[in-house]
Structure formats: C-alpha cells, structure tokens
C-alpha cells in the first residue's frame, strides 16, 4: 500500500511511502489481538486490593449467646461475616495479574492491529518535525490541519521527543508514543494513527 506524506500544515508533500506488506497487510489473527490486549490491560492493574478475613479482625472472642434454647441460629463470634462490621468471606487479597505471552504471538498481534488500521485507511504519514517549545496550541493546530481534531489519535514518533510529547499530553483524545512502545491495545483504541516518517522506518525495523 502506498501513502502520501503530509506536511504539518496539512498539505500533501510530493513524496510517498510504501507500507511493508509483511507488517501492514497480513492475515489478521483476532485471537492473538485478544490475548495481547488482555495482557496489556492486566498489566495496568495494581492488584493492591485487600480485605480482612475473620482471623485478621480485632474484636472480642466472647461467645455472643448460649448455643441452644434461643430459637435462633448459633453464633460464636462478633467477627463472623454474617454480622455488620464482620469479616469478608473469600475477599480479594494483593496479587499480580501479569501473565506471559510468546514474543512471536505479540508480534503477530501488533501486525494484525496495524493491518486493520491500514485496511480502514486510518493511517496518516507525517513528515518529521519538532516544536521549538512545548505548546499544546501548536499540537491542536497540527490536528486541525490534518482534519483529525475530532478523532481519538495515536501519534507515533521514532525517538523520545519531549517537546511533542509535552505538547500533546494535556489533550484527552491524544496519546503520543515512541515506536518502541507501540502496542496492540493503543493501536486499536485509537481512531487514527499519525506516524512520522522516521518512526515508520523504526516500526519496519522492529516488526520485520
């Protein structure tokens, strides 16, 4: 697939780039996408939730009432889960939600996600640029020029670009990543991908 390269002014340049079919035109593997996205979301979980079971509570161990003859159910501890302020049965405890995935499977998942975006014509190739100072106004103007200001955007640059990153981080519908941090979840979560020319080469180097 051949795409035209855009300037930051929103105009088309005289150059084009050809997307690598081994990355942007494979047979998508939906199950690989599911697993890679599931791992990404699992890794975002802190796993710090905690609850107290009966042995962890402080409270009197005195038997509340006699065992028989009251006409009600037996009760032996104020810490019982059936009472207000009592323990919780089978409550959550701190744990790690991470799980491993094969590197080849993750690679297939990311290629599949990029393939879907390419087939939907939701990839924009942008010439390399930089801002002199970090200003959100400059990034908003860039999105307006490309006519994607009303979309959820994933902006991909080749290397850490502090001015561009700082200019975009206050925008709710925009996420900026380096090519090294590109992942399946963020690709599919965005409506449009804006990829700089140098980052396209980096992606091809990483994924091919």
Using pLDDT thresholds of 50, 70 and 90, give the confidence band for residue 188.
very high
The least confident of 53-62, 104-113, 180-189 is 53-62
Q: What is the mean pLDDT of residues 48-54?
A: 93
Alpha helices in the chain (DSSP H): 21-24, 30-44, 103-119, 136-146, 162-168, 184-189, 197-207
Using pLDDT thresholds of 50, 70 and 90, give the confidence band for residue 1.
confident
Strand partners, 176: 155
Using pLDDT thresholds of 50, 70 and 90, give the confidence band for residue 208.
confident
The span from the CA of 29 to the CA of 38, in Å, is 14
Under DSSP, is residue 174 helix (H, G, I), strand (E, B) or coil? Answer: strand
Strands 12-18 and 153-157 come out as: unpaired
pLDDT digits (tens, 9 = 90+) for 93-124: 999 999 999 999 999 999 999 999 999 999 99
The closest alpha carbon to 88, from 62, 61, 60, 49, belongs to: 49
Give me the sign of the Cα torsion angle 37, 125, 149, 159. Answer: positive
Using pLDDT thresholds of 50, 70 and 90, give the confidence band for residue 141.
very high
* pLDDT(40) > 90: yes
For residue 24, CA distances in Å to 14, 16, 86, 112, 196 come to 22, 16, 56, 8, 16
| Confidence (pLDDT) at 121 | 94
For residue 19, CA distances in Å to 35, 36, 55, 195 come to 25, 23, 61, 12
- Give percent of the chain above pLDDT 70: 100
* pLDDT(148) > 90: yes
Encode 117-141 in three state secondary structure.
HHHCCCEEEECCCCCCCCCHHHHHH
pLDDT digits (tens, 9 = 90+) for 161-180: 788 889 999 999 999 999 99
Using pLDDT thresholds of 50, 70 and 90, give the confidence band for residue 92.
very high
Mean pLDDT value across the chain: 93
Under DSSP, is residue 86 helix (H, G, I), strand (E, B) or coil? Answer: coil
* pLDDT(125) > 80: yes
- Give percent of the chain above pLDDT 90: 79
Q: Which two tokens stand for residue 20?
A: 């690598």
User: Are the beta carbons of 19 and 114 closer than 8 angstroms?
Assistant: no
Task: Output DSSP code: residue 155.
Answer: E
The closest alpha carbon to 200, from 117, 139, 140, 135, belongs to: 117
């Amino acid at each position: 697939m051949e795409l035209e390269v855009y300037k930051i002014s929103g105009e088309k340049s005289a150059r084009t780039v050809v997307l690598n079919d081994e990355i942007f035109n494979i047979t998508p593997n939906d199950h690989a996408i599911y697993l890679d996205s599931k791992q990404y979301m699992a890794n975002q979980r802190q796993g710090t939730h905690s609850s107290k079971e009966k042995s962890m509570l402080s409270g009197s161990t005195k038997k509340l009432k006699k065992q028989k003859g009251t006409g009600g159910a037996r009760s032996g501890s104020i810490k019982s889960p059936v009472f207000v302020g009592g323990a919780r049965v089978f409550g959550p405890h701190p744990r790690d939600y991470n799980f491993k995935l094969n590197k080849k499977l993750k690679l297939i998942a990311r290629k599949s996600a990029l393939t879907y975006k390419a087939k939907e014509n939701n990839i924009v190739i942008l010439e390399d640029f930089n801002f002199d100072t970090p200003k959100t106004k400059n990034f908003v103007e860039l999105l307006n020029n490309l006519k994607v200001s009303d979309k959820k955007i994933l902006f991909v640059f080749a290397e850490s670009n502090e001015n561009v990153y700082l200019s975009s981080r206050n925008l709710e519908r925009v996420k900026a990543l380096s090519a090294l941090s590109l992942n399946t979840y963020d690709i599919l979560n965005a409506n449009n991908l804006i990829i700089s020319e140098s980052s396209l080469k980096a992606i091809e180097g990483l994924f091919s």
